[in-house]
Amino acid sequence: MLGDLAPSFKAETSLGDITFPADYFGKWKLLFCHPADFTPVCATEILDLAEMQEEFEELNAQIVVLSADGLNSHLQWIKSLEQIQEKEGKAVGINFPLVPDVGLEISRQYGMIHSKMSTTKTIRGVYIINPENVICAIFFYPLNIGRNQEEIKRTLIALQESDKHDVFTPSNWQPGDDFLMPSPSSREEAEKLAKKNNPKLYSKDWYLWYLKNKN
């Protein structure tokens, strides 16, 4: 759940053994779960993540992918996906670990099994986990719908900016947009805030205050 420490697991992955999330302490973590290898929606998602992996690295974020298939299946799937990259002239490689979860133990820990959808496959879940290993955001998608990776990236940036500046982000916020401030507790408090004449602050009503984004 949001605010919980991310459940810990050890696994032999496509890039060697990992202990998650401890191995990535100090980084933001993006844990993606996939219903199965060699499936069309999952393939497009992995290919998109591969193209964006440097963007996430620049945001101090580590991608980790979980699928209910075994390690050998993961390795064969990676070969297939990298061949697709080569054909498209996008040979960037898949440089993030794919975690096998044949027995669904990890999937159950993270609440990725929704029995009314499937008892043998995970839904498309995404967990954004902060550098202290706390779960900060969760996305769930059905099996047949691909994720919007740009929205996941936008949410990651919003979380980082919120932590940095102690602010909120408004509807449809994009990097560079102004922030929202926590609401004053009363009109009187809002009037006191207005009297400070802080050039970075402005309001649309007594409870709706914005902070200009200096970037």
Question: Known catalytic residues?
Answer: 42
Classify residue 3 as left (phi > 0), alpha (psi -120 to 50) or beta. left
Q: Position of tokens 């102690």?
A: 166
At 106, the amino acid letter reads I
8 Å CB contact between 45 and 3 = no
d(CA 22, CA 9): 9
Beta strand 135-141 with 28-34 is unpaired
Beta strand 28-34 with 61-67 is parallel
8 Å CB contact between 155 and 137 = yes
